[in-house]
Amino acid sequence: MSTLVSSWAKKVQAVPASYIQPKEKRPEDTAAPVCKDIPVVDLARVEGHDRYEVVQTIMKASQDFGIFQVINHGIPGELMNDTMSLFKEFFDMEAEEKAVYYSEDKTKSFRLYANQYSPKASKVDSWRDTLHHSCHPLEEKIQSWPEKPARYREVVGTYVLEVKNLSLRILDLICEGLGIELGYFGDELTKAQQLVVNHYPPCPDPSLVLGVGGHYDSQILTLLQQETYGLQIFNDGKWVGVEPLPDAFLIGINDQLEIISNGKLKSTFHRAVTNTSIARTSLASFIGPSVESIIEPAKALVSESNPKLFKPISSKDYLDIYMAAAGGSKFSALETLKL
């Protein structure tokens, strides 16, 4: 059986054994109730009298859920649609055309792969194919990206730059909410950028599989574009769904931002489920530090009455701990750093 799920998923009537999750991890209810309380932040309001209210909404969402959605964010809907359509077109190409990009070499700037997450991750396969783009420095990394479909480098390169700018705007709003100087995240702490495109083909029995098992994100911020339901977060002791909104980005707090905020913001445990009828493609942009960066609580957030909650660590060392953590459990690599 070919490695790429998209090359054979339409041809099977039952889930192959290697993809069946243990009973305790199966998403028995793939249509978990959609959480209606996740805030939707209108970024057009930050330029007016509502700025303080917007910042407070972001802070509360980042504490209660670890995620929020943004609309009127400045990235053209046409660019978002073109980028999504282009990736769908890529995954619809013949298996032979895609095979040239397949690689299990994690050092490559661009690669197509399946079923890789971490060395100690569950041995059960995930129902997805993944495209991974390293994006910094863009002028160098883009040379390894495909030239087919047409305009791939042009469209995706523009998208990557727009998303990076949006991430910095959102991080400045978070700076306001935390009470640290604007631009705190403007250099080494957001130097790294990755675009990860996950493609989840229809599945004959979604109650047995996971597109992505439960995990935390390791970087600073995630910006997710999605059109089709599939994302779930673990909140108040249960899994709840996150509704996709047209032309919106879902913003996720990552582990290293939880450290820098001294625990004021919370990284969220989340997973992806599948469905029987349509493929789901999601675009996840991860903004993170240079590997040399030392990650620790911002000094402005530490005092006698608010002691430091986490030990300092280099971003590289944190990522090593994260990748060695048990995949698919609610263990957080942050636990190893708590004072």
Rounded-to-integer distance, Cα 185 and Cα 178, Å? 13
Each residue's pLDDT tens digit, 53-62: 999 999 999 9
**β-strands 270-272, 313-314: how paired?**
unpaired
Average pLDDT over residues 85-94: 95
| Beta strands in 201-293, from DSSP E residues, in sequence order | 212-215, 221-226, 231-235, 238-241, 249-253, 270-272, 280-288
- Residue 264 CA to residue 69 CA, distance in Å, equals 19
| Residue 115: predicted pLDDT | 74
Q: What is the average pLDDT score of the chain?
A: 93
- Alpha helix ranges (H) inside 106-232: 138-141, 152-178
Condensed to tens digits (0 to 9), the pLDDT of residues 296-317 reads 999 999 999 999 999 999 999 9
Measured CA to CA in angstroms, residue 89 lies from 83, 148, 246, 249 at distances of 10, 9, 20, 21
User: Which residues, in sequence order, are CB contacts of 300 under 8 Å at separation 6+?
Assistant: 178, 179, 180, 181
- Which string of DSSP letters, residue by residue, matches 91-128? HHS-HHHHHTTB---TT-SEEEESS-S-TTS-SSPPS-
Q: Tell me, what's the pLDDT at 118? A: 44
3-state secondary structure of 55: helix
Closest of 261, 338, 334, 257 to residue 298, by C-alpha? 261
Q: What is the DSSP letter of 277?
A: S
Distance spanning both ends of the chain, measured CA to CA: 48
> Residue 177: pLDDT band by 50, 70, 90 thresholds?
very high
Q: How confident is the model at residue 333 (pLDDT cuts 50, 70, 90)?
A: confident
Is residue 146 over pLDDT 80?
A: yes
Q: How do residues 222-260 score in pLDDT, each as one tens digit?
A: 999 999 999 999 999 999 999 999 999 999 999 999 999
- Beta bridge partners, 284, equal 196, 224
Instruction: Provide the CB-side half-sphere exposure for 1 (13 A, CA).
Output: 14
Q: Is the per-residue pLDDT at 119 higher than 50? A: no
Determine the pLDDT at residue 325. 77
Provide the pLDDT confidence category of residue 32 given band limits of 50, 70 and 90: confident
Judge whether residue 2 has pLDDT over 90. no
Look at 40 and 328; give whichever has higher pLDDT.
40
H or E stretch including 257? Answer: helix 255-260
